[in-house]
Chains A and B, each alone.
Chain A
Amino acid sequence: MNKYITAPITKENREALRAGDYVYLSGTIYTARDAAHKRMQESLERGETLPFDVNDNIIYYMGPSPAREGRPIGSAGPTTASRMDKYTPRLLDMGLAGMIGKGKRSDQVLHSIAANGAVYFAAVGGAGALLSKSIVSSEVVAYEDLGTEAIRRLEVKDFPVIVVIDSEGNNLYETAVKPIAD
């Protein structure tokens, strides 16, 4: 089913999403990948606040290629989500609405998504040129020294994603893959 929704995503709106929904996302999302997650975790351990309020927000696991002149961003597809599994439950407990990435999540993340009424979307891996066309603007908000791994605030318009894990813990990677008979 095709759905059009706006980020930040309220709990009520994300609970209406079902694994397998094809979603066009508009609004504001934040990028963070390996190094930014490590720093956010360290900040939390020191009792500091995060560079952005995670509540109802979406983190996109993505590190773009450099933008050419006059463009908001370079190629901008998802990176493998499982590398962030270690950090994710804590962010979900703090109110993070969900994540966009690609690939499997740990059982711990799956349970945390269900417990918090969150959502895990997949964007198509290796479609960075296409996905960049749905990004209207990009601004570094923290950790600029990390280069491509800095935290960016993105404005997106009809950014195409697929609900893989929904707020009930349904997992499309488990249900959609069926062996094909000879």
Chain B
Amino acid sequence: MRTVLVNEVTKRIREMCIEANHFLAPDMDRAMKDAVQSERSDLGKRILCQLQENLKIAREDMIPVCQDTGMAVIFAEIGQEVHFEGGNLEDAIQEGVRQGYTDGYLRKSVVKDPLIRENTKDNTPAVIYYEIVPGDEVKLTVAPKGFGSENMSRVFMLKPADGIEGVKDAVLTAVKDAGPNACPPMVVGVGIGGTFEKCALLAKKALTRPVNIRSRIPYVKELEEELYEKLNRLGIGPGGLGGSTTVLAVNINTYPTHIAGLPVAVNICCHVNRHAERVI
């Protein structure tokens, strides 16, 4: 057994909330730079250059990349040999979010109840997913999620007979409908298989995979590449004002499913695809 103090978790979560909102991860930073070179539309290029300038100002002046600093989504992979001390893990994570959003001048975008809609004023609670894994480490991922793109995400309960063509149509439909609302260029997280909620979680987690890394499953890698090409031929472009850069990547995760089903989730993220990671 290895002991981990929960205040270490609080500290890491706090710093990742601030980091993710001011600095894009290296994979996203690279993809945004490359897009400036490859974009064919003049207005598209102008917008991508503005976004480069935006990233520079964000990191140099410590102004969040986007004012929607998101609802904090946290993945906690906990080694089964770990023993936590010093308090409740859930409370420690929420405290990290509270401190990060308050001390980091991040926007408080969470309401206590979906219909009564009173702001909690500290951006808690976060949405937390726990996974028990082998080993004695704790891996924490913070992925603040903006809602311009979240609102354009979809779940499709396809029939097995719809097959791979059905999956392609679903992704194309979701991205086409998202258009300018989702702040393109987008990153598209896709979950295929599992159950209704499992495919949504697969899609969410797919967004935390670096955009330059393709699936290890050969047919999934091909599907990612084919959809990347197809989506960029839609012509939506930067800001939805036309151009050849509509998506920066398509990341797909799969899971076994039921003989009767083919669930597909498309979780759309804007170009401010934020993720930070720490291992304790």
Give me the interface of A with B, judged by CB distance under 8 Å.
22, 35, 62-68, 74-77, 79-80, 82, 102-104, 122, 124-133, 146-149, 160, 162, 164, 172-173, 176-182
Contacts and interface: CB of A to CB of B under 8 A. Distances in A.
B179 A173 contact: yes
Interface string B125-138: 00000000000000
Interface stretch (B52-60, B188-196, B211-219): B52-60
B50 interface: yes
B67 A182 contact: no
Contacts, number: 161
24 contacts: A22-B43, A62-B67, A63-B68, A65-B105, A66-B107, A68-B62, A74-B64, A79-B148, A80-B181, A102-B148, A102-B180, A102-B181, A102-B240, A124-B50, A126-B54, A128-B68, A129-B58, A148-B67, A162-B239, A173-B180, A177-B234, A177-B241, A179-B234, A180-B40
Contacts of B46: 22
B117 A35 contact: yes
A104 B181 contact: yes
A148 B181 contact: no
Nearest to B51: A127
Interface residues of B, number: 51
A129 B235 CA distance: 26
A130 B107 contact: no
Given A79-B148, A102-B181, A176-B43, A147 B108 contact: yes
Contact of B148 (A125, A164, A172): A125
A126 B62 contact: no
Interface of B: 40, 43, 46-47, 50-51, 53-55, 57-58, 61-69, 105-109, 117, 119, 121, 146, 148, 151, 179-183, 232-242, 244, 270-272
Q: Is the interface of B mostly helix, strand, loop or mixed?
A: loop
* Consensus secondary structure, chain A interface: loop
A133 to B, nearest CB: 6
